Amino acid sequence: MVQFLCHEKEHFHIHFKDIKLYPEKLKEVGVLAYPLEYMSPKIPGLGDVDWGAFVSALNDIRYNGDAVIEVEDKAFESSHEDILKSVRLSKRFLDNYLI
């Protein structure tokens, strides 16, 4: 028998990523469609997420956990340098919101 012990109560983290939503496509395919049929993943700041509201909600619940910048934006996946650039751009954008 294998047991896994965790001495932390719970461990949560959030992903900072954005999406570009295509409302007309969403109306066409519906909410149960595969998500990439009506949206495109973007780096933070290049999509439709309301970052002020999102970070405000995190502050309201006094979130003090880990966060990850998630790079799924096709515009930044062609090279290692593009990926690094996307992380730098994301951090620069998020610095406007994070305390």
| More confident of the two residues 98 and 22 | 22
- pTM here is 0.78
pLDDT higher than threshold 50 for residue 3: no
Considering the domain boundaries, does residue 48 fall inside one?
A: yes
**Which distant-in-sequence residues (6+ apart) come within 8 Å of 43 by Cβ?**
17, 18, 69, 71, 73, 76, 86, 89, 90, 93
Considering the domain boundaries, does residue 5 fall inside one?
A: no
Number of domains making up the chain: 1
Considering the domain boundaries, does residue 90 fall inside one?
A: yes
Considering the domain boundaries, does residue 9 fall inside one?
A: no
Domain that holds residue 78: 14-94
Considering the domain boundaries, does residue 7 fall inside one?
A: no
Q: Tens digit of pLDDT for each residue in 42-79?
A: 999 999 999 999 999 999 999 888 899 988 999 999 99
Considering the domain boundaries, does residue 71 fall inside one?
A: yes
Considering the domain boundaries, does residue 53 fall inside one?
A: yes
Considering the domain boundaries, does residue 3 fall inside one?
A: no
